Amino acid sequence: MPKLSKIITRGLLASVALAVMPMAAQADEWRYAFEEALNEVQGVYATKFKEHIEENSDHTVTLYPFGTLGESADIMEQAQSGILQFVDQSPGFTGALIPEAQVFFVPYLLPQDEEQLFEFFRTSKAINEMFPELYAEQGLELLTMFPEGEVCLTTQEPVEKPEDLNEVKFRVMTNPLLVEAYAAWGATPTPLPWGEVYGALQTGIIQGQENPGFFLESTKMYEVTNVITCLGHNNFTTAVMANKDFYDGLSDEDKELVQNATQAAFDYILEYQKGLQEEALKKIAEAKPDMQIKTLTEEQRQPFMEAAGKVEEAFIGMTGESGKEILDQMKADLEAVK
């Protein structure tokens, strides 16, 4: 029979050996929902993010595309409550939660030039330093924001001047500043969640909506409208975030992993979008040859641009000093990339 002291010594040695053995990192399953299909821009971004995480750790990421967990407002609630670890929600739907996020709907604020636009998203202090603080107040860790393409209008009748939007019930995402913008152009803005848009156009409840080219094509907006008008007033912005308690609780190694995945997917999605707008409009023209696809001239854009001042004032009215600070910083960031 071994002596008791020997048994204790062996036991101690075994626990020391366990303590010095490298700990196997825990493999977690993370859930990530977004507002689009898997093969649309947000889905392509999410897929790249998932690939990076899974190639560089034992964690897995389960993706939930549009419709699987509800509308944009539903997935945001799920992310805030911690049911989801990651969510992509566009500022178009974040206005009620973070009013300053509506700055992306001041018409003609973002540049049309792709290189300038991309550089703005890469370097903007407003996006990379100021917005994270505002999202944090809502229990969210803002990981990134990226553009999804020039927004164009789809309507039943041609739009060449603001008066052409008179009496047009125009669907906008659910944020008050977009309502102001379309009201300033003379339309009757109608905020609706995305899932209701195709049916509402089909039944005539609304007569127009706006979205970037790839989305007009993939969601077949051209089946229920006759005219696409591009007037250079905006580029669709989206945002990816994590539940803040979840993020704060990650090890330094996992935080770095998430940041690297964010960066890899960000670089990929900008590259992926080169030429996407033109390609999408071309596909629409092929699918429906009598679809009218128009780009307004500089002169035709002028009256739409003139209304932008009013929308900017409305933005400041809604957000006060903190909105003004964001707007001023964005203008400075945009100036820096010119």
Tokens linked to 201: 């156009």
| CB nearer ligand 6CS, residue 90 or residue 124 | 90
Q: Which one of 6-14, 153-161, 211-219, 268-276 is the stretch in contact with ligand 6CS (CB under 6 A)?
A: 211-219
- Minimum CB separation from ligand 6CS for residue 238, in Å? 7
Per CB under 6 A, the list member of 31, 33, 36, 189 interacting with ligand 6CS is 36
Name which of 35 and 312 has its Cβ closer to ligand 6CS. 35
**Interface with ligand 6CS by CB under 6 A: which range of 17-25, 124-132, 210-218, 221-229?**
210-218
CB of 211 to ligand 6CS, least distance (A): 5
Task: Give the number of C-alpha atoms closer than 13 A to the C-alpha of residue 267, restricted to the C-beta side.
Answer: 6
Build a one-symbol-per-residue string for 96-135: x at contacts with ligand 6CS by CB under 6 A, - elsewhere: ----------------------------------------
Which amino acid appears at position 184 of this protein? A
Amino acid at 215: F
Work out how close the CB of 265 gets to ligand 6CS at its nearest, in angstroms, rounded to a whole number.
Answer: 16
Both structure tokens of 32: 């990530």
- CA-to-CA distance for 306 and 71, rounded, in angstroms? 34
C-alpha to C-alpha distance for 324 and 176, rounded to whole angstroms: 17
Residue 64 contacts ligand 6CS per CB under 6 A: no
Asked if 258 and 322 count as a contact pair (C-beta separation under 8 A), the reply is no
Which residue in 84, 145, 165, 173 binds ligand 6CS (CB under 6 A)? 173
Is residue 35 part of the contact set for ligand 6CS (CB under 6 A)? yes
Any contact of residue 215 with ligand 6CS (CB under 6 A)? yes
Residues forming beta bridges with residue 153, ordered by sequence position: 210, 229
Among 139-147, 154-162, 207-215, 279-287, the segment contacting ligand 6CS (CB under 6 A): 207-215
The contacts of residue 70 (CB under 8 Å, 6+ apart) are 78
Q: Which amino acid is at 190?
A: T
Alpha helices in the chain (DSSP H): 4-20, 41-56, 72-81, 91-94, 114-123, 125, 131-136, 176-184, 197-202, 213-218, 244-248, 252-272, 276-287, 298-306, 308-336
Confirm or reject binding of residue 90 to ligand 6CS (CB under 6 A). Answer: yes
Helix residue ranges per DSSP H, 82-130: 91-94, 114-123, 125
Residue 270 contacts residue 235 (beta carbons within 8 Å): no
- Asked whether 33 and 84 are in contact (CB, 8 A), the reply is yes
Nearer to ligand 6CS, 249 or 275 (CB): 275
Q: Among all residues, whose Cβ is closest to ligand 6CS?
A: 194
For residue 246, give the nearest of 320, 165, 143 by alpha carbon. Answer: 143
Q: How far is the CB of 175 from ligand 6CS (least distance, A)?
A: 11
The answer to whether residue 222 forms part of the interface with ligand 6CS (CB under 6 A) is no
Residue from the set 91, 95, 176, 212 that interacts with ligand 6CS by CB under 6 A? 212
Q: Return the amino acid letter for 16.
A: V
| Shortest CB 88 distance to ligand 6CS, Å | 8
φ, ψ for residue 320 (rounded to 5)?
65, -145
Positions touching ligand 6CS (CB under 6 A) are 35-36, 72, 90, 148, 173, 194, 211-212, 215, 236
